[in-house]
Structure formats: structure tokens, C-alpha cells
Amino acid sequence: MKLELTRSMKGLKLKGHPSPFYLSYLLRIRAGHTTWARYGSVFYSCPLDNSTMHVDLRVGSYQSDQTVDGRLESHDEEEDWHEWNEGPEDLDPFALRYCFWRLTEERHLQALRDYYDKKKISLDERLIKNAPSLRKGKAIKLAIPLKKLHGTAKQADDFVRKTSEFFLAYPRMETPYVQMTEVIQTRLFVNSEGTSVMAQEPFFEVYLYGAMLAPDGVRQSSSRSFYARSWDELPAAGELVAVIDALHEDLLELIEAEPMAPYSGPALFGGIPSGVLFHEAIGHRLEGERLLSRSEGQTFAGRVGKRILPAGIDIVDDPSMARFEGQTLYGHYSVDDEGTPAQRVHLVEDGILRRFLTSRNGIPGQSASNGHGRTSKGREAMARMANLIVSAREPLGAAELKERWMAEVDGQERSFGLLVTDARSGETTTSSDAYEFQAFQINPTAIYKVDATSGKRRRVRDVSFVGTPLAAIQGVLALGDDPRVDNSYCFAESGSVPVGTISPSTLLRDIEVQRSTRAHRQPPIIKLPPRG
């Protein structure tokens, strides 16, 4: 990689056109296996062995290169260079050099086209120029000892085969399955500034899923996920009997729950849904590239040093943190995809915005990358969350938080408040386009009405939470002392990346609930066939 990069920097010169001033190569090698099974039979088993390549080539100068809008719109898969993102499975040195050579040639031609397009754009529109296009980086040398995948394909297949047999005890459950994925990702990175990095991250996941039809024909689903950085951290197949039993009980409760009508009022979010809320409503809006794009709403532009959350709330993002209270954090890495060491970043202190997440793209008001440049196959690197940590300086205990919540319900003259104990996912829009809205949505998986008088709770279903970010976060009344870890994957313009979130329970003054659109299906005419 170093040899080909050096050759390209010397040879890529076209008379009358700007030459590359910066070049980096990233090789991502994945070795692993994914498999899933139901009722004791493997349905799919496949190796995940592959390599992908990324080239970042800049022409012009650090102060002004070919990039515009933080490259948020630069993932057009129709570009010629996309077909060269796939690397060889056989990591032969010549094959690697050949692939990087072809990809570099394509990226160079694209960079020149973009450079002249930027000049045209500048004639009509005012682009952000109060920061360099690319921040200069310090050369670092980092080589982490590499390990081989501990598990085997047979071991994984046997695991899901044995675990999925437990679903036979619940014939009413529809389409249940167990999936296991184990991958070791090795990243090799070099650039023209002298940085050379060899890093590695293992990922192990077990996912269990089941569904049932409610009496009204709406399919209800429930799932459980386990994330780890080694095989030994995963639960054994026998330990998942209780998990599948709990999943079954959850489904029985769900199908008997009442569909909920639209509502707006006080809500208490547990740690998992609270983490999804902060991730969607705030985290994505603190990704630095959004300050550079003309199509972004730039919710927090010009707000550094100003209050964006109630006093007493802190938000940190720390990719260098591998575990929290003994639990794996999926957003951990030692160096980002641009060769910058991972850094702990204090985003919000005592409710006041202090800084943004940054990659090496020049962000106004921030002098350097803080190690959050991340990318996946075929996407340009941008600042992304890693391990987002939300905390309160004066957290409330469970009893005090509930008392405050019920007082708010009573003060708003509501007959009930909402308790949300779990959530599957969320999404948000950050665009300023006239046909888009600055909004977020959270999909809860466990939500209850809690009676304001008796305190009794009743489960409801078929709803999602919607809102605008500023209204939602300004409605935070208190945080608890019960932080929970939520590991998952986050998708944005630079692709899908593993992330972790640590957040305590959160009391909200007002949250809006909308009815989810669900199909009303017919149950099977014939029951599950007998086994044997």
C-alpha cells in the first residue's frame, strides 16, 4: 500500500491541472461467518471473508480542495470508482497494488471533475470558506497485534441449530429464528503524510426473533440482541432458554395490548429508549460535516457556548472506551478511518454546547479532527458518533423520578402518563429541503399507560414517537441514576457503523405519539406441522 501510494503521488500529474496534495489508502479485511436457524435447522450459513478498499484523494490545497458540502452528497454509486471498492480475497501484494492503482486513477479523474465543478458553483453560490477544506494531520505509527477468528463455522452452525430448537416449545410463535454473526475486521491505513496504521476490531452478535398475530390481525414482533467482542462473552445456548421464554411472554402480552390512539403528554423513558432519543435528536446534529452542507438544517450552527439542553446534563462521545460497568461497547476503536487516534469529546457540558464531532474535513470553529472520521464501503468518511454517553450532574433515584413524573402528569391534568421501557430503533431527518422536516422518530417495543391515580400500568402497542429535536430536548425535566448500554448499528451518509449509547432514564415534559401503520393479516389456515 505504501509503495503504490508513493508511486501515485509522484506520477499523478496532468499539465495544466492541479496535482494531488493528499492521498490515503484504507484496506478493510473482514474474516467471519453468519448463520441463522429456526426449529433446529440451519437455513443459511455463509462466510463473510472479503476485503474492501477506500481511496481519499484531494487536489488543490489543504485550504481549498475539490470537496463541497462536507461531501455529504458524495455517495453516488453510479460513479466509475465504485466498482473498484471491492478488494481481492487473496491478499496478494500485486493484486492489492493493481486494485489501488485502478481505484486511485478513477478517484483522481473524479477529483479533477469535482474541482472544476466547485469553481462553477462558487460563481453562483457562497460556499463556506472560513475553514480549510482538509485539516493537516500529524503522522502516526500504530500497529496493534492481530488475532485470528476464535470461532468456527461449525461452532456457529451448531450454536444456532441447538438454540433454535427451543422455539419448538412455542408453536404459536411465527417465523422465529436465531442468528449468529462473528467477524474480525482488520484495517490497514496509510497516507501521504506518513501515517501508517494497523488496527483490528472483533464483533460477535446473537439475535433472536419471534412474532405473533394479534386478534386484530396486526403482526407483533419481539427480539433480543447480544453484542460482544469475543466468543466467550456471548451466552451459551442453554442460557438462552430463559431468553426465548421471556420473548414468548412478551409476545403474549403484546397481542393482548390495546392499540393506542395519538397522544401528547409527559413520558418517562427508560435508559434504552432514552439513548435512542439523544442519538437521534442531538447526536446526528452534532456531526461536524452538517455545518458545511447547503442542504442541511444546521440545527446547532452558531450555538457553541450557548445552552441547548437544561442545566446539569452532560453529553460525551468516547470511542476509546471499550467497556462500561463490565459491558462491551460496540462503538469502541483505537483509531478512526482517517488514521486519527480516537478521542474523548465533551460535546455538551452542563447543558451548554462546547464542540462538534469532527473528521479531518475543516469545520468552522474547530482546529483539528477529534478522531471521529468513519466510513463503510463506498462512502466518504465523515464525523460520526461512536460511544455516546449521556449523564446528569444531579440524577434522581427511581422513586424520586417517578414522583416527579406523576406530578407532571397531574399538573397537565392528564389521566395517565407514558412509560417506555424499550425501543427498537429510531431515525431522523436533518435536511433543510423544503420537502423535508427537522424531525425524529422512535419506534418503541415496550410502552405502557400508567394511571395517574392508581399507578397501575397497562401495555399498549402500534405507536411511534415523533417530534422536533429542539422541542424534545428542551422538554427534558430530569435524568435518572440508572445508565443502560445500548449497542447497535447507525446508518448515515458515510454508511453503517457500529455504535454504543449509555443513557439513564429520562423524564420528558411532552412527547407526541402517532399511530403506526400496520397491515391486518389473516392467520394461517393450518397450524404448524407436527415434528417427526
Give the domain ranges of the chain: 2-256, 259-515
Phi, psi of 243 (to 5 degrees): -65, -45
Cα–Cα distances in Å, from 494 out to 54, 380, 431?
12, 6, 15
3-state secondary structure of 294: coil
What pLDDT is stored for residue 206 in this prediction? Answer: 97
What pLDDT is stored for residue 200 in this prediction? Answer: 95
69: its cell numbers: 458540502
Amino acid at 90: D
Give the C-alpha separation, 478 to 507, whole Å.
Answer: 5
Helix (H) or strand (E) holding 453: none
What pLDDT is stored for residue 78 in this prediction? Answer: 66
- DSSP string of 299-315, one letter each residue: TTTT-TTSB-S-TTEEE
What pLDDT is stored for residue 131 in this prediction? Answer: 86
What pLDDT is stored for residue 435 in this prediction? Answer: 46
Amino acid at 455: G
Write the Ramachandran bin of 211: left for phi over 0, alpha for psi from -120 to 50, otherwise beta: beta
Residues in the chain predicted with pLDDT less than 50, given as ranges, are 434-435
| CATH code at 2-256 | 3.30.2290.10
Beta-carbon contacts of residue 403 (< 8 Å; ≥ 6 apart): none
Determine contact, residues 420/446, Cβ cutoff 8 Å.
yes
What pLDDT is stored for residue 434 in this prediction? Answer: 44
What pLDDT is stored for residue 197 in this prediction? Answer: 97
Tens digits of residue pLDDT in 401-434: 999 999 999 999 999 999 999 998 777 776 655 4
